[in-house]
Structure 1
Amino acid sequence: MSSGIAETVSEGPSMDFSADPDAVSAVAEAHRLAYGHLFNSAFAAETSLIDPLPHQRIAVYEQMLQQAPLRFLLADDAGAGKTIMTGLYVREMLSRRLIRRVLIVPPAGLVGNWEREMCTLFRLPFRIVSGEDARDGNPFLGPESDQVIVSIDTLAGERMFGHLKDPQTDAYDLVVFDEAHKLSANRQPDFRVHKTDRYKLAEALAGAEVEDEHWELPWSAQHLLLLTATPHMGKNYSYYFLWRLLLPDALSTYDAFDDFPRESRERHFIRRTKEEMVRFDGSPLYPQRNCATLSYELSQGPQSEQELYDETTEYIRYYYNRAGVLNRSAARLAMSVFQRRLASSTYALMCSFERRQEKIAGLIDDIRNGRLIEEQLIRQQRGLDKLNDVFETQTADEETASEDGGEQHEEFEDKALSGTIAVTLSELEVERRTVEVLLNKTRDLFKTSEESKFEKLREVLSDPQYLDEKFIIFTEHRDTAEFLVRRLEGLGFTGQVALIHGGLPYQERERQVEFFRRPAAEGGANYLVATDAAGEGINLQFCWLMVNYDIPWNPARLEQRMGRIHRYGQKHDPVVIVNLVAGGTREGRVLKTLLDKLEAIRRQLQSDKVFDVVGRLFTGLSMRDYLEQAVTEDANAVAERLEGDLTEQQVQALAERERVIFGEGGEVRQRLAHLNDEAEQENYRRLLPGYVRRFVERAAPLLDLRIEGDPEATFALVPARPRAADALLPALEVYSEEARERLTVYKPASHEDAVWMHPGEPVFDGLSATILSRFGRDGLKGAVFTDPYATEAYLFHIALISVEQHSQDNAGPIVPQPLESRLIGLRQSSDGTVEECPVEHLLLLRGAHGFAPSRVPLATLARDMVADAAQFIREDVSERVVQAHRQRRLDDLPARLEFVNRGFDFQAAELAAFRSHLSKMVRDGNRRAQGEFSKVKERQRSLTASRNHRLAELQVEPDLIQAGETKFLVHALVVPAQDSEEAERYDADVEAIAVEMATDYEKRFGAEVQDVSRPELARRAGLTDWPGFDLLSRRAEGERRAIEVKGRAGTGGIEMSDNEWAKACNLRDEYWLYVVFDCATSHPRLMRVRDPFAKLLVRSRESIAYIINLGDVIEAAE
């Protein structure tokens, strides 16, 4: 439901209670369903295509939603469902009217994934904003900009960021950074801080102090959510700078962060490992991983793989050694490219030799034609020494696409292949001849189609135990990926191979993933060939077989690959990872040692955890060094050294080190009993599908719409008069033509082509908005209802109240920040007494159609009495809610003041130390330091004013919390039952006898029975005031029964209310109707009906109450 629904009702007409009770009830229910979180605190879980897991519920409902404003670092292990937790939080905050504008900032490769999951799972229509949109105008203006996704590098671009700075751009309430570890910043030994543009963007949006006016924004986000599975990769300062985004004032320096108490950190941070995450029954969430390393032998003899390997390795070894002597790191990187590609595929090696030959030929040509002299060649090579090995220094998700659409490591390889030890023309000529010989040998071997590694892959794919299963095949190189696609298609798999690499736009990646997801029988692919850079953000839980065609030298990349299939939602146990290694080669011996040792540690620890930390185990170690040494030294000795460097004690030490850094993750298992109790209570608080179905069935005829089809399955809303459905057409057009005819109120088991109607879904919201637009004034006119339990007439009101946080902007007016919106019900007696009453009270009443309000004297006094009700809201209800919010702020205020004060103290100390350092540099004649010295002095002078200003802001915050406007939405004149038959059905003495008999019956079966028939009893059981049944029975074998009890003095029909109808629809087999006849005699008779909704109620079509005759009860009883 849109946040503007309450505002669709204008100032009301005269309150004379002449409106149709059905219309007034529909208005009340439209508002109530729009504020579903007030009745079920996990309402977003109800209206989403997910069932939150224990760790997800803890994060969202116990931590994130409890923090206002949200400044949070969600750092669960990979595959935990951080996107789902974000979606849940966003949906809940939108439902609560606490946010309107949301900006999600992921890496480019994840943009499509975010858009798809927000739309599919949560029906959140996020718009993807691209660089092209920025050229066409400001994409952050207008309602369509309220929920947007922009890749981080696009948003940091000058043109796009300029649109954020536009004075017309409204502030975003919530900003989410995915893969937040990419917001890198680090402090140098000389106190200077190096910040990437990504980090500067995050500073601007987070409201942190920025040093460059280019990054200044006229606003900052109230709520900030950072998502990462790797918050700390052995870099303390980088980890600190992430935290600084959350609390810029309190954590102004690293020392302030180091001093930040553990319990305070826990409010803003959570991290759970895969081992901690379990299902509600305590079973592990993640399947086991079976990792098998298969060795293959190179072909032998003349013109064989072994011959090519030996000669290429000799070339690599010679240049490795020469580059080491000459201190030419670029030349060593060039050789590492050949070493990787030699192990990858003959085709990839051939492509690299071709590029190497082209590079050397270009240098020779430049020298011969005078465009390059030897001194320039030397300088050029020295410049290349600054190259970083992308494979080693970055994980796949940290790579960025190059300008030509390639992968970042391809750009690195291309530059690295220019690295040479040659400094003269003759030396270049020698290497060109060597490369030419190797290139020809590679071409000759490639033409034979002989590839032992591919034959080993074919063995794996054709294994009978994997028949008709899907495989993902990872390689580091696009050349090898394209080779694999051609070879697989050559085996007869044309049209069955999907391909993803980092050069594909996200739309094409999505298409390839869907191609792979689709069953082969429906034209889908059985094989997905992917490069590492393409692995970012691709969730492949439907696949459980993975082949590492290449073994990455960076173990963190190996861990990332496994995360594509070993994640939340994987149904197969175990998942299987197959590693292909040429065990007889120098590199193969080292890599096989690594993989075998990881498997040995897994067995020794009886835990898969080693696979989750393998990337972090190598912090400070370099697999590239081991593999280079395997070529230049004795490979067996290198393998033995690696085995000694990697131990189970290291894994345990790393786990302990991370526990110290992150704190206890919070043992999810220990919370299961409490979480299961909460889930049980929420089951009884649910609004779907029953209340939604009842609303749709009641609203449709009011709007001249007819329900065509079966509400138990799918149906359509058909106009009963021309143009009656016009108001719903914009919402229906969001869906396919087939889906528009297939509406349902039941959560679909899969992504079927149907429209699931619920609050927050366009068709349902359109229906609700139309009811409010057409009948909102009727709600304010009021209608007459009967209460069978009442002895005198009274008034019932539904109102909307709100609480706001005001802030004084010196340059403009007060801008309120919503803190809470709440529907309240009021019962007002004829003597003027006003008391709060559950909003759902109206569901217990019957519309008094045709009843003349003038028959009740209270009706003539009602208009004046509403003023008293408004005063009660203002002075009692609203004031109480406001004070509760103020008190929470006051309780936190001393700690917040202390942390901010200490933050400024630490900042002052750091500036003083930096000033002293710069002062020495100035004395030593460093001119650059003079400018820095002046800036530091200026910052020191302004620090006191900044401190006083921030502390003053904090101290006044509680006083700026105020009540917002009160809006009456519905009025009702409620009168006692008007006929004796109705009164008899609600005789209190008879009901007491019936409840007692039903209770005794349950206790005979050893059940624990709770009476929840009155609001105070229901609240004690954790239920809503009127749960829709009278008894909650828990039997010894675990069966639960929600029992509605009906009693008759003799015999006759019974009546069930709207509330009971909807609850019976929700609970079905768990809902029982116990009817006790002859309560006025000495021999009462009990009859029990299980699932009365299916057996009795769904047949009833009466307008408000459901009258069930005696014969039907007898027929349905067990």
Structure 2
Amino acid sequence: MSSTDLRPIPSDYSQWIKEIREIVGMTQAQFARVVGVSYASVNRWENGQSRPNNLAWQRIIDLELSLQENSIEEPNPITNAGESPSLDFSASPEVVSVIAEAHRLAYGHLFNPTFASETSLIDPLPHQRLAVYEHMLQQSPLRFLLADDAGAGKTIMTGLYVREMLARRLIRRVLIVPPAGLVGNWEREMRTLFRLQFGVVTGSDARTANPFVGPESDLVIVSVDTLAGERMFAHLADTATEPYDLVVFDEAHKLSADRQPDFRVRKTERYRLAEAVAGAGADGTRWALPWASQHLLLLTATPHMGKDHPYYYLWRLLLPETLPTYEAFEQFPAESRRRHFIRRTKEELVYFDGSPIYPARECDTLSYELTQGAGSEQELYDATTDYMRGHYNRARVLNRSAARLAMSVFQRRLASSTYALMRSFERRSEKLEDMIERIRDGRLTEEELARQQQRLQSIDDIFETTTADEQMAGEDESDTLEEFEDQALGGVVAHSLAELEVERIKVNSLLEKARNLFEGREESKFEKLREVLEAPEYAGAKLIIFTEHRDTADFLVHRFEGLGFTGQIATIHGGMPYQERERQVEFFRKPESEQGANYLVATDAAGEGINLQFCWLMVNYDIPWNPARLEQRMGRIHRYGQAHDPVVVVNLVAGATREGRVLKTLLDKLEAIRRQLRSDKVFDVVGRLFQGVSIKDYIEQTLTDEEPSQALSRLEGTLTESQVRAIQEKERSLFGPDGDVARELDRLNESVGQEVYRRLLPGYVRSFIEKSASLLDLKIDGDLDSTFRLVPTARLALDPFLSALESHQQGERGRLTVYRPKRASDAVWMHPGEEAFDRLSASVVGRYGDDGLRGSIFTDPYAAQPYLFHIALVSVVQASERSAAPGVDSLSQMPEGAVPEPRLLASRLVGLRQNGDGTVEEAPVEHLVLLRGTADFAPGSEPLAGTARALVKETERFANDVVVGRMVQTHRQQLLDDLDERLVFVARGFDYQAAELAAARARLTERDRAGDHRVRDELARVRERQRSLSAARTNRLDEMRAEPDGIKPGEVEFLVHALVVPSQDPEEMEHYDADVEAIAVEVATAYEESFNAHVKDVSRPELARRAGLTDWPGFDLLSRRPPTGDGPREELAIEVKGRRGHGNIELKDNEWASACNLRGKYWLYVVFDCATSHPRLVRVRDPFGKLLAKTRESTALTITESQILEAAE
């Protein structure tokens, strides 16, 4: 089916879904398996409580098409869990094995706890693993502040967490809320690194429909300012919008709130948005939200910007009940804070070998001299400075901030390039001309001119107040910085027509000077840049050139092309859509041999959200007056993945000019502090050093003061080594001790080493695709060792997969692979979580799921008696009697007659082995992989088959009472372990609220008595809150005490049944002769110990678990040989096979898959002549590569003796 067949979801979708389900005779649980969702999702659809997402809707349509084509058999409905009238063991064992593998792969995290790192295009670093797997995933619900330094990979950690939580079925809807300039980066990294298809919501999406409703709304990215807009937030608050399970705020320090001296709290709209989403209360109906996010993740590299209250208000978002006041936060213990917070500085971050992730930074400030004489740069500089000084002084006297902004535009551009200054003079002249004409024509009076200037007073200098991450091209591809400058150039000090005409003459004179200078191609700054380009130490290096102004960027590109570099220059600016930015970055990333660019000319639009660590040389063609922008620029190349040491930053400054003296003083002082500290930490705190201090003010002072040295002296006093140390000490006291990453390296390296043996990719996925393709009328065309495609062998067989491939580029769709590609664009990587693979798996389950319930017969060479084996899905839920956050009544928002859906706490697959006497024990899910199917055994000949239906009921009781019972008890105990502490904190939080309200009431009452009656409305609100606080306290504490009892067992859903009988095949019995195996293992162990190796026997589940492996790792021995010479320690995974004399050997599926996964680490040790006094050992390294059999018999891979001898070492 092609995507053109994807019909829109009808208004009566709930009835339509129910009718489809009833036509095929499926229960909701069966239908859920076919569609690839949970039972609860189908229940919600049919009750009209939610709509299927795009993937689920496609699968429903596929099912309908299959019915029309008569290609699906109607399953026999299961009357209840654990009982099926079709349990007759008549299904094909090959099909039942495939069904079991489909379910096992769908729950891959149960077998590899770091499964997301296995299925993503990343290799998590030590600090990233610690954050995700040992902090974030251990907390439920997640209320977390991730505050690692810039460039540490917070986006990657978030993607890992989301992938793991989706795999665990603990979240479904995710909302990511970054600044506007980072939206594209988030979408790209989620898509390319994690195959998470997030939709980007823009302001225009809210004009015609609710973008948070419908099949595409489960994974959404929207900028913080867009979401805070009234129309967009109203859609979020619509009762049709399902709650988001996880909300992520990036650059969370910009969700600012602060307490004023009069105790009033000033909240930005961004904070009010976060407050509503976090369930921390809402200021009025404008911010009322009928739900609160269960999980909240705040990301920032600068959690504390020098003020304590804004830092507290971030914490209040995480724990609104526990920390309702600043005083409650002050008393919150450090140990409790560490559960919700982690911060690692760049100095702490290391690779697994202990080497630092971040290279050193070298910053060099090159000063250049302006040309002198008539028509020179110096002459233009002096004339422009005189013009600006006159306007600055008049604007200061007249309190005309708009006019001062206009002059700041000229001052920045004067320091940037002659071309940028010329373009500003052109625009200023046009604006003056327009004002003059309108006054002359009577369309603008002098009074209206004054009012117009008054309106411009409210404009903020966004060069000062914003950073690169907040800039994003508008929907008309406008540049926010250019828009600001255009507005600012309308600010004048003139009161009359005459004054405007005088200024026009002056501006036109300056424009003429600038034009003549530009056309003369005299630019000393560019010549200094050429010196950098031609320096031998930078030969062959890619170079980034940053400027604040798009006009300067255009000038640089033009001059580079004039030097013969046409086709070698990438560009990024603020008016560029993020998709085009990606293309330019990719152009710059490519080496010159692949027609890539050597140079990137960029405005600060590339200062955040674009990772350029493949380049190590950067030139600041002009220096931003906002130090945070300078920090952001350096962060593009000074980050994880930078291979060059050191990173070099070159600053170009006209050192003899007024502005240049300020900037050179700043840069030289930063470099001096770096040397004193013997650390480049100063570059990471420069934004905090200047918190509340404006470089712009210093530069303005050099114009308005007669002696610029006064401003320089004040600047030097602001920036000292002791201040940097003070910031570091303040952060240590706030955030706790550092150094945890290095301390954990030995343990982390051990864990990573063990995870290699837990992997499911590529071996198990490859095997599954090979076996399932033919079941779906598909064949594999190509090479499974590289890339392949699926080709239909029957009409319409491929159609269900076409729409799953549409998120990939056209060229990728015909290239499938089971191996991790270097780049996402190389091929479609087939693994659980990839839509194309999930569609394949769901199709197998949809078509053959009932075969798993019908069951099949397998043989076990180690069994003495027949037994039943079952695979079931079990779960634990939390009764949803209230919203996740205080103050939100979730029940009142539900459709009439609807029942609150329990919240899933955990779900897992379990294997259950049942003997003929009815006794049941838990067994590894992968046990079925070890068994050989048989078609020669009649079910009726085994009495156990006849009693299976009754016995399954006993299995269900065991699963409920024992397996799920343990899970329930574990989750209850987790709540009970810290319940008393949480009750104390929440009760104390209510006490602090009561004290704060009492103090507020006293202050307001005093003002009211003093005659300030404006406070009466606020006083009434305080009194009302006081009255309701006691009841709220009692209710909340009672709810918390009841939470452990709200944890209940979920459904037990059987997925696969098998009747297992002892093997009667003499040849097979010989393969599994216990005496022969013991001799073979002894010979193999002795051989390894001759190399002083430490050998672990992992051939049985209890031994494998003791070694940190899965129950059946696919090999028998784990040998660790000591290092030889300077080489590393060698580790071998050894599968041991023994034969009495000679003959073939067999590899089981798990052994085959492990050999595929481990390749060179996997050894096959075959011991022939075990029945003699001289057993003979033959060793084969990488048997998958050397002995891959072309045919399979059931679940065994047969290898002949001659093949073994030929491949032996």
CA spacing shift, 1:1115–1:524, aligned 2, 3 Å = closer
How far apart, in 2, do the equivalents of 1:617 and 1:576 lie? 22
State the secondary structure of the residue aligned to 1:721.
Answer: coil
Query: 1:1101 is matched by which residue type in structure 2?
Result: R
Aligned with residue 507 of structure 1, among 579, 597, 617: 579
Aligned twin of 1:1027: 1113
Bigger drift between 28-37 and 310-319 goes to 310-319
Aligned with residue 279 of structure 1, among 351, 355, 362: 351
How far apart, in 1, do the equivalents of 2:609 and 2:194 lie? 18
Aligned with residue 955 of structure 1, among 1025, 1030, 1041: 1041
Q: Does 1:87 align with 2:159?
A: yes
How far apart, in 1, do the equivalents of 2:941 and 2:447 lie? 108
State the secondary structure of the residue aligned to 2:744.
Answer: helix
Give the deviation of 1:36 after TM superposition. Answer: 0.2
How far apart, in 2, do the equivalents of 1:221 and 1:857 lie? 54
Aligned twin of 2:252: 180
Alignment of 1:1064-1075 (within 5 A): 1064-1075=1155-1166
Aligned twin of 2:12: none
Aligned with residue 812 of structure 2, among 739, 758, 762: 739
How far apart, in 1, do the equivalents of 2:1182 and 2:710 lie? 73
State the secondary structure of the residue aligned to 1:828.
Answer: strand
Query: 2:319 is matched by which residue type in structure 1?
Result: L
How far apart, in 2, do the equivalents of 1:837 and 1:650 lie? 62
Q: Does 1:1045 align with 2:1167?
A: no
Aligned with residue 830 of structure 2, among 757, 780, 784: 757
CA spacing shift, 1:322–1:822, aligned 2, 3 Å = same
User: Structure 1 regions of 5+ residues with no counterpart?
Assistant: none
Aligned twin of 1:543: 615
Aligned with residue 995 of structure 1, among 1081, 1093, 1096: 1081
Q: Does 1:161 align with 2:233?
A: yes
How far apart, in 1, do the equivalents of 2:946 and 2:399 lie? 98
How far apart, in 2, do the equivalents of 1:208 and 1:378 lie? 44
CA spacing shift, 1:275–1:1107, aligned 2, 3 Å = same
How far apart, in 2, do the equivalents of 1:193 and 1:400 lie? 30
Give the deviation of 1:379 after TM superposition. Answer: 7.0
Give the deviation of 1:53 after TM superposition. Answer: 0.8
Aligned with residue 1056 of structure 2, among 941, 958, 970: 970
Aligned with residue 1150 of structure 2, among 1059, 1064, 1075: 1059
Aligned twin of 1:713: 786
Aligned with residue 931 of structure 1, among 986, 992, 1017: 1017
Aligned twin of 2:81: none
User: Structure 2 regions of 5+ residues with no counterpart?
Assistant: 1-32, 43-74, 79-83, 883-890, 893-897, 1124-1128
Aligned with residue 96 of structure 1, among 163, 168, 174: 168
CA spacing shift, 1:924–1:434, aligned 2, 3 Å = farther
How far apart, in 2, do the equivalents of 1:603 and 1:1031 lie? 54
Q: Does 1:907 align with 2:993?
A: yes
Please tell me whether the aligned partners of residues 407 and 533 of structure 1 are also in contact (alpha carbons under 8 angstroms).
no
Aligned with residue 1101 of structure 1, among 1172, 1178, 1192: 1192
Please tell me whether the aligned partners of residues 618 and 649 of structure 2 are also in contact (alpha carbons under 8 angstroms).
yes
State the secondary structure of the residue aligned to 2:622.
Answer: coil
CA spacing shift, 1:397–1:1107, aligned 2, 3 Å = closer
Give the deviation of 1:586 after TM superposition. Answer: 2.1
Please tell me whether the aligned partners of residues 985 and 1054 of structure 1 are also in contact (alpha carbons under 8 angstroms).
yes
Query: 1:945 is matched by which residue type in structure 2?
Result: A
Bigger drift between 425-434 and 1014-1023 goes to 425-434
Aligned with residue 653 of structure 2, among 552, 562, 581: 581
CA spacing shift, 1:617–1:521, aligned 2, 3 Å = same
How far apart, in 2, do the equivalents of 1:301 and 1:1032 lie? 81
Task: Show CA shifts across 1:548-584 (max 9, x none).
Answer: 1111112111111111121222233322211111122
Alignment of 1:234-253 (within 5 A): 234-253=306-325
How far apart, in 1, do the equivalents of 2:570 and 2:117 lie? 34
Aligned twin of 2:673: 601
Bigger drift between 89-98 and 574-583 goes to 574-583
Aligned twin of 1:1079: 1170
CA spacing shift, 1:904–1:929, aligned 2, 3 Å = same
Q: Does 1:652 align with 2:738?
A: no
Aligned twin of 2:200: 128
State the secondary structure of the residue aligned to 2:1204.
Answer: helix
Give the deviation of 1:591 after TM superposition. Answer: 1.5
Aligned twin of 2:601: 529
Aligned twin of 1:4: 36
Aligned twin of 1:27: 99
Give the deviation of 1:456 after TM superposition. Answer: 1.7
Alignment of 1:253-292 (within 5 A): 253-292=325-364
How far apart, in 2, do the equivalents of 1:1061 and 1:116 lie? 36
Please tell me whether the aligned partners of residues 20 and 783 of structure 1 are also in contact (alpha carbons under 8 angstroms).
yes
- The alignment's C-alpha RMSD in Å is 2.5
How far apart, in 2, do the equivalents of 1:985 and 1:24 lie? 24
How far apart, in 2, do the equivalents of 1:1070 and 1:376 lie? 81
How far apart, in 1, do the equivalents of 2:827 and 2:515 lie? 55
Give the deviation of 1:199 after TM superposition. Answer: 1.9
Aligned with residue 986 of structure 1, among 1033, 1058, 1072: 1072
Q: Does 1:498 align with 2:567?
A: no
CA spacing shift, 1:954–1:1045, aligned 2, 3 Å = same
Give the deviation of 1:512 after TM superposition. Answer: 3.1
Query: 2:742 is matched by which residue type in structure 1?
Result: R
Please tell me whether the aligned partners of residues 1189 and 1197 of structure 2 are also in contact (alpha carbons under 8 angstroms).
no
Task: Show CA shifts across 1:213-266 (max 9, x none).
Answer: 122122221111111222222232222222211111111122222222111111
Bigger drift between 215-224 and 1059-1068 goes to 215-224
Query: 2:1085 is matched by which residue type in structure 1?
Result: T
Q: Does 1:171 align with 2:171?
A: no
CA spacing shift, 1:6–1:104, aligned 2, 3 Å = closer
Bigger drift between 201-210 and 625-634 goes to 625-634
Bigger drift between 239-248 and 875-884 goes to 239-248
Aligned with residue 868 of structure 1, among 936, 954, 968: 954
Give the deviation of 1:449 after TM superposition. Answer: 2.1
Please tell me whether the aligned partners of residues 588 and 596 of structure 2 are also in contact (alpha carbons under 8 angstroms).
yes
Aligned twin of 1:560: 632
Bigger drift between 743-752 and 66-75 goes to 743-752
TM-score by length of 1: 0.96
Aligned twin of 2:1091: 1005
State the secondary structure of the residue aligned to 2:339.
Answer: helix
Percent of aligned positions that are identical:
69
Aligned with residue 1027 of structure 2, among 941, 947, 951: 941
For these two proteins, the number of residue pairs brought into alignment is: 1118
Aligned twin of 2:383: 311
Please tell me whether the aligned partners of residues 185 and 194 of structure 1 are also in contact (alpha carbons under 8 angstroms).
yes
Alignment of 1:38-49 (within 5 A): 38-49=110-121
Aligned twin of 1:776: 849
Task: Show CA shifts across 1:1062-1109 (max 9, x none).
Answer: 111111111111122222222222221111112224445333112222
Give the deviation of 1:493 after TM superposition. Answer: 3.2
Bigger drift between 879-888 and 763-772 goes to 763-772
Q: Does 1:194 align with 2:249?
A: no
Bigger drift between 856-865 and 430-439 goes to 430-439
Aligned twin of 2:965: 879
Aligned twin of 1:569: 641
Task: Show CA shifts across 1:591-612 (max 9, x none).
Answer: 2222122222222322221111
Please tell me whether the aligned partners of residues 3 and 94 of structure 1 are also in contact (alpha carbons under 8 angstroms).
no
How far apart, in 1, do the equivalents of 2:500 and 2:769 lie? 80
How far apart, in 2, do the equivalents of 1:324 and 1:72 lie? 46
Q: Does 1:115 align with 2:206?
A: no
How far apart, in 2, do the equivalents of 1:943 and 1:5 lie? 42
How far apart, in 1, do the equivalents of 2:262 and 2:492 lie? 34
Give the deviation of 1:1000 after TM superposition. Answer: 1.7
